Amino acid sequence: MQQSFPGVNPDITAWKGQDIVDFQEELLIKVSAHISEKWFYSHMKAKNDNLPRIDMLNMLSKYAGFANWDDFKFKHSSPAMVPIVLKNPNRYFILVPVLVILILTCFFIFFKIFNTRDYKFNFFDADTKMPVTNSIIEVSVLLGGESPVSYLCRPDGSFQFKTDKINVRFVVKSPYYQTDTIFRFLDKFNRNETVKLRPDNYALMLHYFSTMNVKDWQKRRNQLDQMISDSAMIYQVYTKEGIGAELYNKREFINKLTLPSSGLQAIEILDTKYHGDKISLIRFTQKEAGK
């Protein structure tokens, strides 16, 4: 009855009027049986030492979810089968664990905030000991279990990173310096780190050849021929009108560097890769004169 009428009084002896009518309709709908109001008062509201007839007991047992009166008696004869319902559970068994979890969460958040610091990494040329300024430096921070997070350094050759970790690992990539993986333990009391980058000598030479006036053109060509692999992939990247690229072979690229042209300025190396001791890939861009 409480499933169909949640507001019904849990004490069946207190039912009257509409409650009895609702119970009669429930029995009619659920088990196609009918009881009279007189029967209800005789067996439910009054003290009666005699059980109702077996057909009424079977009907009421069926309404309660059992096959019949015998099924009801059998399933309630063993104490092990009686469900134990805690009507008044001790609320402290719920409140204490919740309170402990809240306290631990607050401590964890406070610890994360207190230990998070800004660290600054400054990049220097390993040969000249001078800051690497006005050069593209890309830093990819390697986070455990996550994709790398990439940063572009400032023009002064530095980048800042906020973390609460005790160490950091990142990959540094720059057109004129060798790609390197850096691992550092972090000092919360000294948050300025210095990182030395090893020059990529071949990339620097390519840039030098494109900007300096060299009288011995044949010597320059021979040097370039020794530096670059015969099967090197060489791309000139265009960004003026959308994204595009032009492919050069080794001979065409050497000609581009060694044949003077007043219409072109310095070549800017974007990326170089090596196979053995020779360049196997070059990506570069070149600005027009006056740009």
Chosen domain end from 166, 197, 228: 197
Q: What is the pLDDT of residues 246-257, one digit of tens each?
A: 899 999 888 888
Check which CATH number belongs to the domain holding 157 and give it: 2.60.40.10
Identify whether residues 209 and 186 lie together within a single domain.
no
- CA gyration radius, the chain: 43
Identify whether residues 209 and 179 lie together within a single domain.
no
pLDDT (0 to 100) of residue 49: 76
Query: Is 56 among the domain residues?
Result: yes
Q: What is the pLDDT of residues 9-60, one digit of tens each?
A: 888 888 888 888 888 888 888 888 888 888 888 888 777 778 888 888 888 8
pTM recorded for the entire structure: 0.50
C-beta separation of 266 from 203 below 8 A: no
**Residue 281 scores a pLDDT above 90:** yes
pLDDT classification of 265: cutoffs 50, 70, 90: low
Per-chain mean pLDDT for the chain: 81
**Residue 111 scores a pLDDT above 80:** no
Identify whether residues 220 and 190 lie together within a single domain.
no
pLDDT (0 to 100) of residue 115: 65
Between 16 and 113, the higher pLDDT residue:
16
Q: Which residues of 114-127 are buried (b: 16+ CB within 10 A; e: fewer)?
A: eeeeebebbbebee
Identify whether residues 219 and 185 lie together within a single domain.
no
Query: Is 192 among the domain residues?
Result: yes
**Residue 227 scores a pLDDT above 80:** yes
Chosen domain end from 32, 66, 81: 81
Query: Is 88 among the domain residues?
Result: no
Identify whether residues 254 and 269 lie together within a single domain.
yes
How many structural domains compose the chain? 3
Helix, strand, coil in percent for the chain, rounding step 5: 35, 30, 35
Query: Is 271 among the domain residues?
Result: yes
Q: What is the pLDDT of residues 54-87, one digit of tens each?
A: 888 888 888 898 989 898 988 887 554 445 454 4
Angle at 17 between CA 13 and CA 20, to 5 degrees: 60
Check which CATH number belongs to the domain holding 208 and give it: 3.10.450
Chosen domain end from 197, 226, 257: 197
Query: Is 162 among the domain residues?
Result: yes
CA distance 159 to 150: 11
Angle at 121 between CA 116 and CA 126, to 5 degrees: 155
Identify whether residues 190 and 205 lie together within a single domain.
no
Identify whether residues 160 and 175 lie together within a single domain.
yes
Between 189 and 107, the higher pLDDT residue:
189
**Residue 233 scores a pLDDT above 90:** yes
Full domain range(s) for residue 52: 12-81
Lowest-pLDDT range of 76-85, 141-150, 152-161, 204-213:
76-85
What CA–CA distances, in Å, run from 254 to 85, 103, 268? 89, 69, 15
